[in-house]
Structure 1
Amino acid sequence: MTKVILLIILCTCYSFVSAQQPVFLLDGHKVKAGEKLSFNMQIRASSGDSTYIPVTVIRGSKPGPVLGILAGIHGYEYPPIIALQQLPALLDPTRISGTIVLVHIANVSAFLGRSVYYNPVDHKNLNRVFPGNKNGTITDCIAWTISHELFPRFNYFIDVHAGDANEDLHSYVGYVVHGNQTASAKEMAEAMGFDWIMRSERSIADSLPTQYATSEAVAQDIPALAIECGKMGIVTQAETEKINSGLINVMRTLRLMSGAPSPANAPIEITKRVTVNSEYTGIFYSDYKAGQLVRKGMKIGYVTDFFGKHLQDVISPVDGFVVYKVSTPPISKGELLFNLGQYPD
């Protein structure tokens, strides 16, 4: 199977080499072979609201595929944003065969507003509105620009996230089982070197909004990954280095960057996940942490009202481990408390 996947990548890379144009054109900016260029893609909604997306294009001195890497869909997820700010200094165009497009912050308003989940301008979650709408609000327009101006330029795509300000999270990388992109996406996921891989088989139908950036990329038959690394909006050197070392290893695996890729480890592949939601509005308590093992029927937290009256015991419905959890006290009825990975059957 590994030989088949390698043959697919080599053949695909050959087609990229044959078709590559001498200048990479994006949003009116021309990037020649061997160049790095940073600029802002301007976006304006029909309402009059406007924003921009900071982008860096690294054009290799040799031909090859185009890899798009995006951070900042959620503005409070800081580790990926800082990692992508540092990444261009690690990329030498003379060692690159192809083009790397870094979208540093997809949701600038949410980043500057220190906003969890939502764009403060229109109160929409960018990762729930793909493929977007060019006639919609500013968040719709951002998603439309990514879907229609960036994705058609990409041969591969990686969306980098972290636990938001209220989320304790164990790092993982996810891919979607769908269409022709599955084998390459799995190979990329393994190359990241994380110890958990989430395999999703969610339906991606032409008649439904894709909602997520990775789902939209997959719908366009682009091999895509979703990375989660970091938690609670805290930036550490260990996490930014983990993100960038994984991305560089993916580049080497795709023959985008010179140097032998590090061999894939033996990650745990998780195919089933369950969420545990709050039945009440109040205050959430739990001593459990991301990555911790849980057993079916085990009490893993509880909810009280604002006066301290006990309202709900939070019980694990499966044997598994905590992928991520709410790490702050406020909770509303119906909100997620835990996302749990279930032990493989």
Structure 2
Amino acid sequence: MEAGLYKREITFDYPALAGWRWPTVDIVGQRPGPRLAIIAGVHVNETSSIEAVIRLQRALDPAKLKGRVSIIPIVNLPAVPLRSQYVCPLDDKNINFSFPGRPDGTFSEAIAYALLNDWAHDAECFADLHGGDLCEEVSHFMVVQRTGDADFDRRNLEIAQCFDAQIIASIDPSHMDHPARSVTGRAKRGQYAAFAEAGRIGLIEEAHVAYHFEGLLRLLHNLGMTDNAPPKQREAVIITRYHWVPGPIDGFYRYHVEPGQKVAKGTLMATAENTYGETIAQVTAPEDGHILWRITHALSPKDSFIIGLGTKD
């Protein structure tokens, strides 16, 4: 492709994806270089990430770019009419935990497979942007898949550190044994990826958009595709265990912690009440750690996840 900005729609030749067309953008630089593939909208209410990739399209100048940037702003197209949280309404599965996918699978499995094996198969790096569905608030954090290969893991961590994160969750190689996030699917292929979280309750807010947008600019610079990048303001805390904390009872939950907050073992994180305002349960931190995210909706059923907690081995 010659240098320039190209807008088009693409399709994938898998049964579950028949009839769907994804709007995409390619920004091709005048000088040779690597390819960065970027997706957003795996969860369609996480609008800070979608806004960031729209902003990136306007910011990149092909005359100053080395290589190629490819963008799919919204992956989960079937979820748009319903504003569906987390899942694709065609199969009730979460695309986010469907990688590496299957070519003969359901919509979520097939699009996960198509993204890795067709659309981004030759990309030097794959960036997957998330953050802040309708009932949640998340810290500025990254997820990195450890593989046990020291050189690969070091480089993957360097990529994550391009984003000005509060926390980096470096997750165990055991995640590679099961369907998981795109960063895990890429690691199984021996390919690098960035997985970014920032946002809350479906809102477009500048601090969260800037986290994604400026992180992508630093990633482009790190890959040698641009000459400049904005400075970082902090160094992330690296955690190695990611706990999904469930609510112990049906209740009206009042939260006592905020995303990004450091907590000690035993810290009161949430209180559950009944509809008479009586306390019926408490949720405390099982270990010292950092709050990755929390649910914002007060009503939660028993065993639904209400807090993400990152800790160290």
Q: Is the 8 A contact 1:130 1:140 kept in 2?
A: yes
Q: State how 1:87-102 maps to structure 2 within 5 Å.
A: 87-102=56-71
Cα distance in 1 between the residues matched to 2:192 and 2:71: 16
- The alpha carbon displacement at 1:335 in A equals 1.2
Which sections of structure 1, spanning at least 5 residues, go unmatched? 1-31
Q: Which has the higher Rg, Structure 1 or Structure 2?
A: 1
User: CA 1:300/1:329 → structure 2, altered by over 3 Å: closer, same or farther?
Assistant: same
Q: Which residue of 2 aligns with 1:5?
A: none
Q: Deviations over 1:274-314 (max 9, x none)?
A: 33211222322223221233222232212234554543111
Offset at 1:263? Answer: 6.6
- Amino acid aligned to 1:185: N
Partner of 1:216: 185
Displacement of 1:204 after TM fit? 5.1
The 1:245/1:134 distance shift into structure 2, 3 A limit, reads same
> Within 2, Cα distance between the matches of 1:230 and 1:57?
26
Structure 2 equivalent of residue 111 of structure 1: 80
- Counterpart AA for 2:153: T
Map Cα deviations across residues 79-129 of structure 1 (whole Å, 9 max, x no partner). 101111111111011111111111111111223321110112221111122
Tell me if structure 1 keeps the 8 A contact 2:2–2:30.
yes
Q: What are the Cα deviations for residues 57-78 of structure 1, in whole angstroms up to 9, with x where unaligned?
A: 1111111111111111111111
- Whether contact under 8 Å (1:44, 1:50) holds in the other structure is no
Alignment of 1:133-148 (within 5 A): 133-148=102-117
Q: Is the 8 A contact 2:165 2:235 kept in 1?
A: no
> After the TM superposition, which segments of 4 or more aligned residues of structure 1 sit over 6 Å from their partners?
none
Q: Aligned-pair RMSD on alpha carbons?
A: 2.3
Which residue in 1 is equivalent to 2:7?
A: 38
Please report how far the alpha carbon of residue 158 of structure 1 lies from its aligned counterpart in structure 2 after TM superposition.
1.2
**Alpha-carbon separation, structure 1, partners of 2:8 and 2:152:** 30
Alpha-carbon distance in structure 2 between the residues aligned to 1:232 and 1:55? 26
Report whether the alignment pairs 1:228 with 2:197. yes
Of 224-233 and 134-143, the range deviating more from structure 2: 134-143
Change (3 A) 1:202 1:332: farther
Offset from partner CA, 1:23-66 (integer Å, 9 cap, x none): xxxxxxxxx23121112222476468642322111111111111
How do 1:257-276 residues align onto structure 2 when only pairs under 5 Å count? 257-259=226-228, 262=231, 265-276=234-245
More deviation in 132-141 or 332-341?
132-141
- Residue 162 of structure 2 aligns with which residue? 191
Q: Does 1:203 align with 2:174?
A: yes
Structure scoring higher RCO (CA < 8 A, sep ≥ 6) equals 2
Q: Which amino acid aligns with 1:198?
A: A
Change (3 A) 1:336 1:33: same
Q: Is the CA contact 1:185–1:223 (under 8 Å) kept in the aligned structure 2? A: yes
What is the one-letter code of the residue matched to 2:164?
G
TM-score by length of 2: 0.90
Q: Does 1:159 align with 2:128?
A: yes
Is 1:149 equivalent to 2:134 in the alignment?
Answer: no
Structure 1 residue 162: deviation in Å? 0.3
In the other structure, the counterpart of 2:208 is 239
Q: Residues 293-312 of structure 1: matches in 2 within 5 Å? A: 293-306=262-275, 308-312=277-281
Offset at 1:168?
Answer: 1.5
| 1:235 Cα deviation from its structure 2 partner | 0.7
Percent identity between matched residues is: 24
Relative to structure 2, which stretch is displaced further, 194-203 or 215-224? 194-203
- Structure 1 residues 168-187: aligned runs within 5 Å: 168-178=137-147, 179=149, 180-187=151-158
The residue type equivalent to 1:96 in the other structure is: L
- 1:261 CA drift (Å): 6.7
Count residues in correspondence: 311
> Offset at 1:137?
2.3
Q: 1:306 to 1:142 in 2, by over 3 A?
A: farther
- Which range moved further: 215-224 or 256-265? 256-265
Three-state SS of the structure 1 residue aligned to 2:161 is helix
After TM superposition, give the deviation of residue 323 of structure 1 in Å.
1.4
**SS of equivalent to 2:213:** helix
Task: Report the secondary structure of 2:101's partner residue.
Answer: coil
Structure 1 SS opposite 2:121: helix
- Equivalent of 1:131 in 100, 122, 133: 100
Q: Match for 1:330: what amino acid?
A: L
Structure 1 residue 202: deviation in Å?
3.0
